[in-house]
Chain A
Amino acid sequence: GLVAVRAAPDNRISENVEKSIKEAQETCSDDPVSGECVAAWDVVEELSAAASHARDKAKDVEPLEEYCKDNPETDECRTYDN
């Protein structure tokens, strides 16, 4: 359950990246320097950047840290300054 929820937005972007690349390739098949073509590749760049940011965010998640945010009183999470 939890894992699927977390993975969902990432997959959505990934699908959009794939779609945008196909669209750009189709748009550019007639005229590779047209405004439409350039705009289409710009969309690819924007989505690729968003996908990579989402990946980095997901990578940063430490399972124990996440758990301790919600359960600071448990044995594995308690820390004392002195």
Chain B
Amino acid sequence: MAVCTVYTIPTTTHLGSSFNQNNKQVFFNYKRSSSSNNTLFTTRPSYVITCSQQQTIVIGLAADSGCGKSTFMRRLTSVFGGAAEPPKGGNPDSNTLISDTTTVICLDDFHSLDRNGRKVEKVTALDPKANDFDLMYEQVKALKEGKAVDKPIYNHVSGLLDPPELIQPPKILVIEGLHPMYDARVRELLDFSIYLDISNEVKFAWKIQRDMKERGHSLESIKASIESRKPDFDAYIDPQKQHADVVIEVLPTELIPDDDEGKVLRVRMIQKEGVKFFNPVYLFDEGSTISWIPCGRKLTCSYPGIKFSYGPDTFYGNEVTVVEMDGMFDRLDELIYVESHLSNLSTKFYGEVTQQMLKHQNFPGSNNGTGFFQTIIGLKIRDLFEQLVASRSTATATAAKA
């Protein structure tokens, strides 16, 4: 999408250089009918039309496989409206999702080694050696600058690298996968970053739910798979959370003693302070430390109830604000009651968070903090996007006037 602004700047220009063209600016020089036709120098107003290709906003989402990245993505694209679908008519195993505003690309597509290659080299997909960060950087940079790229496709079914697909620069580019914040060059390109941090207990419970119906899987095989990948996960994936603007931590509940079902969750949204265009969400009073149980005379909750906590903290040496929710929603009125006590939600109308959650009642996590905080982050990203676009068009205008 091109945003064009026209400025009239009176200048004296030599006729010989009357047409000046570069990537970003086109100068149209008007030649006024002048009585002094034989002179090479004329004074005339020149119209500067700046057609800056509207820059793409890049968002990074890091999480392990099977940790709900795709649910998060569906919630995020829904905030911007329209459904996200795979590219039409392309590879049926493409990992890309495209909607009107947003394109989501899966970073597995930048594997440098396919499934067999990793077997030969004895490395996992978590290992940086299995990934081509040079290509990742080049293509994300190109998309950010508004250039289309031919991105490879890693086929999760066959385990092979398929022929590339053409990706057009979107308004919002989301790169999701294991390593969006691993390479410093790629990290620099991100306008916002999120890390989904699932604790080991919850990961185990979720993978049991996911895999037990699969033939061949047993408790032992699920456990073995998690355990054997853990050293690589701790070495290469987990450290990325220190760079994230928001970390969503998913932990076992503290409301039920020794709960191992993974259905009731304690979810913490850790928001970095001082990030441009991102104002952390707070509960009641900004900067205080608060513990809040919304159940009481105004609200009936079933067992185990809901508990909120809010307060400042430090995370990897950074100032952060943490909003925590433990427990489960039973009914809609609980959600709107909670929403009305949170501030800085970046909603456009009262009840927007609740409405978004209701739209996707069947998504995993809709009755606990995972869905609630993911929806809120979706709204924060929309806000960030709008502010960034506004600030860039102001910057372009100022630059053109100068």
Tell yes or no: B159 within 8 A of A by CB.
yes
Report chain A residues within 8 Å CB of B214.
Answer: 14, 17-18, 48, 51-52
Task: Flag if B118 contacts A42 (CB, 8 Å).
Answer: yes
Closest-by-CB residue of A relative to B210 is A52
Determine the interface band of chain B, counting residues with CB < 8 A from chain A: 20 to 34
**Chain B 299-333 interface 0/1 with A at a Cβ cutoff of 8 Å (1 = within):** 00000000000000000000000000000000000
Closest-by-CB residue of B relative to A56 is B70
Q: Out of A16, A38, A53, which one reaches B229, CB within 8 Å?
A: A38
When chains A and B are docked, how far (Å) is the Cα of A73 from the Cα of B65?
Answer: 42
Tell yes or no: A1 within 8 A of B by CB.
no
Task: Flag if B124 contacts A39 (CB, 8 Å).
Answer: yes
Query: Which of B37-45, B143-151, B216-224 lines the interface with chain A?
Result: B216-224
Q: Out of B217, B229, B232, which one reaches A21, CB within 8 Å?
A: B217
Report chain A residues within 8 Å CB of B125.
Answer: 42, 46
**Chain A 49-80 interface 0/1 with B at a Cβ cutoff of 8 Å (1 = within):** 11111001000000000000000000000000
Among B66, B118, B225, residue most surrounded by chain A Cβ atoms (within 10 Å): B225
Main secondary structure of the interface of A (DSSP, over half): helix
Tell yes or no: B157 within 8 A of A by CB.
yes
Q: Out of A9, A35, A44, A51, which one reaches B225, CB within 8 Å?
A: A44
Report chain A residues within 8 Å CB of B216.
Answer: 17-19, 21-22
Report chain B residues within 8 Å CB of A39.
Answer: 118-119, 121-124
Closest-by-CB residue of A relative to B65 is A49
Among A33, A37, A50, residue most surrounded by chain B Cβ atoms (within 10 Å): A50
Also in contact, A50 and B157, with CB within 8 A (given A39-B118, A39-B119): yes
Q: Out of A16, A35, A53, which one reaches B70, CB within 8 Å?
A: A53
Task: Flag if A46 contacts B225 (CB, 8 Å).
Answer: no
Min CB distance A68 to B, Å, is 15
Q: Out of B115, B118, B119, B228, which one reaches A28, CB within 8 Å?
A: B228
Also in contact, A45 and B229, with CB within 8 A (given A18-B215, A39-B124): yes
8 A Cβ contacts from B267-300 to A: none
Closest-by-CB residue of B relative to A51 is B214
When chains A and B are docked, how far (Å) is the Cα of A17 from the Cα of B215?
Answer: 8
Task: Flag if B221 contacts A21 (CB, 8 Å).
Answer: yes
Task: Flag if A34 contacts B224 (CB, 8 Å).
Answer: no
When chains A and B are docked, how far (Å) is the Cα of A19 from the Cα of B217?
Answer: 10
When chains A and B are docked, how far (Å) is the Cα of A30 from the Cα of B211?
Answer: 25
**Chain B 55-71 interface 0/1 with A at a Cβ cutoff of 8 Å (1 = within):** 00000000001100010
Report chain A residues within 8 Å CB of B229.
Answer: 38, 41-42, 45
Task: Flag if A42 contacts B122 (CB, 8 Å).
Answer: no
Min CB distance B190 to A, Å, is 24
When chains A and B are docked, how far (Å) is the Cα of A12 from the Cα of B215?
Answer: 12
Q: Out of A12, A21, A38, which one reaches B124, CB within 8 Å?
A: A38
Q: Out of A12, A36, A37, A48, which one reaches B211, CB within 8 Å?
A: A48
When chains A and B are docked, how far (Å) is the Cα of A38 from the Cα of B231?
Answer: 9
Min CB distance B129 to A, Å, is 11
8 A Cβ contacts from B107-132 to A: 115, 118-119, 121-126
Report chain A residues within 8 Å CB of B359.
Answer: none
Closest-by-CB residue of B relative to A34 is B122
Task: Flag if B156 contacts A32 (CB, 8 Å).
Answer: no
Among A35, A40, A45, residue most surrounded by chain B Cβ atoms (within 10 Å): A45
Also in contact, A12 and B157, with CB within 8 A (given A18-B216, A48-B217): yes
Report chain A residues within 8 Å CB of B232.
Answer: 38, 42
Also in contact, A38 and B156, with CB within 8 A (given A45-B65, A48-B211): no
Also in contact, A13 and B66, with CB within 8 A (given A39-B123, A42-B126, A44-B225): no
Also in contact, A17 and B66, with CB within 8 A (given A42-B229, A44-B225): no
Among A12, A18, A21, residue most surrounded by chain B Cβ atoms (within 10 Å): A21
Report chain B residues within 8 Å CB of A12.
Answer: 157
| Given pairs A42-B118, A46-B115, 5 additional interface contacts (CB within 8 A) | A12-B157, A39-B121, A42-B126, A42-B225, A48-B66
Contacts from B to A (Cβ < 8 Å)? 65-66, 70, 115, 118-119, 121-126, 156-157, 159, 207, 210-211, 214-217, 221, 224-225, 228-229, 231-232
Contacts from A to B (Cβ < 8 Å)? 9, 12-14, 16-19, 21-22, 24-25, 28, 32-53, 56
